[in-house]
Structures are given as C-alpha cells and as structure tokens.
Chains A and B, each alone.
Chain A
Amino acid sequence: ETGVTQSPTHLIKTRGQQVTLRCSSQSGHNTVSWYQQALGQGPQFIFQYYREEENGRGNFPPRFSGLQFPNYSSELNVNALELDDSALYLCASSTRSGTDTQYFGPGTRLTVL
C-alpha cells in the first residue's frame, strides 16, 4: 500500500450541496493531484497543487476547487453538486524528483442523489 490516505471513504450528498474531500500525501511528497474516475472509465485529471498553489488544471468547471496546506496535505471542494459528480475521487502524490512517479490513495466514493 502507498502512504497516501484519503477521507472519508464514502460520502452521500444531494444535488446542490457542497462537499470537501481530504488527502494526506505520502511522506516526502510535495505535489498532490486530484482525479475523478467515473464508473468504467479511467481517472480524469482535475488539478494539481504544488507549494500550496494550483499548478495545472484539467477540463473541470470552477466549482471544483482545492487547497494545499504547508504539510502538503490537500482538500478538494466541489460546490453545487450535480448528479454527474457521482464518482470515485482519487488523490495522488509525487515528488517532482525526476526519478519517481505519482502514487494514488484509495479514493473517496461520492454519490450524489
């Protein structure tokens, strides 16, 4: 298992609500990326945080936002939830060292009713 942890494991929300997902990166990793994985599909890149700033974003609307903290942990916030936001949300951490790649956490399964 990797050292990347995510909370909560599962979450059920209703349409229009807001949600916050949390990620603790692997020890020594300073970069965190968030992905959305719909059922039967590969993960899709949402955004990446490096040194507490957003450093790259995929094709997701502004209601998807995030934070990175000085200890490199991160949050993903989603406002105005829609039914299509139901998915597995994955966090991955890396070092940007050039000799290693990113490692994923177990994910948070979000269901929007």
Chain B
Amino acid sequence: QKEVEQDPGPLSVPEGAIVSLNCTYSNSAFQYFMWYRQYSRKGPELLMYTYSSGNKEDGRFTAQVDKSSKYISLFIRDSQPSDSATYLCAMSLDNYGQNFVFGPGTRLSVLP
C-alpha cells in the first residue's frame, strides 16, 4: 500500500461545477496537510494548508481533513477554466519540508 493514494484522473468538468478531489493516507502520525496546484511544467503552488483535523475555507476553495478516516478533500466551487491543472495533496509530520509525502496528483480539466 502506498503511503498516500490519489486518483490520477484525468477529471473533466464543465465550467461552474463543484469539483471534489481526494486523498487517502496510511500514516496516522501525519499532522500537516497541504494542497498544491501545479500547472504544466511549473512548480507546485500552495493552495491550502491545514494543521490536524477540520475544515478550512479560502475563497472558492475548501479543504477538509478527517484524521479518523485518514482522508482529506479539496473542494473547488464555481470552477473556472483557469483551474485546469494537476492538484497534488501532501502531508507531513512537520510543516517545514522534511518528511513531506506527496500523492501522484489528479489532473483536472475545466471545460468552458
């Protein structure tokens, strides 16, 4: 079993749809949970950063962490063609880079 699992997609949705992206993980010691957006041939861009369980909202993005189920989600409301990218989940024991584990990424296409 991989440490972090993520459906690679591709996922295609119409503009304006609500998008749900998910990751599961096996290490119950993870405390920090991140979502990154990566455009083709670019570096990952931090979208959401959550410590421990709960929800966090930032504009059209909502991140949820359920540590009891070892499951995290990212919701994108009113999706736009500019949201088309690969979305990477990452989790860690710390928040400064060591021991970060990434999922393989989900490729999202938002169609106009």
Chain A residues packing against B (C-beta within 8 Å): 2, 4, 6, 31-33, 40-45, 48, 55-56, 88, 90, 92-96, 98, 100-107, 109
Contacts and interface: CB of A to CB of B under 8 A. Distances in A.
A40 B97 contact: no
Interface of B: 4, 6, 8, 32, 34, 36, 41-46, 49, 88, 90, 95-105
A104 B43 contact: yes
Contacts of B105: 40-42
Contacts, number: 73
A105 B100 contact: no
Given A31-B97, A43-B102, A56-B98, 9 more contacts: A2-B43, A33-B100, A41-B104, A42-B103, A88-B41, A94-B95, A94-B96, A100-B95, A104-B46
Contacts of A104: 36, 43-46
13 contacts: A32-B97, A48-B98, A55-B98, A90-B44, A98-B95, A100-B95, A101-B32, A101-B49, A102-B96, A104-B43, A104-B46, A105-B43, A106-B42
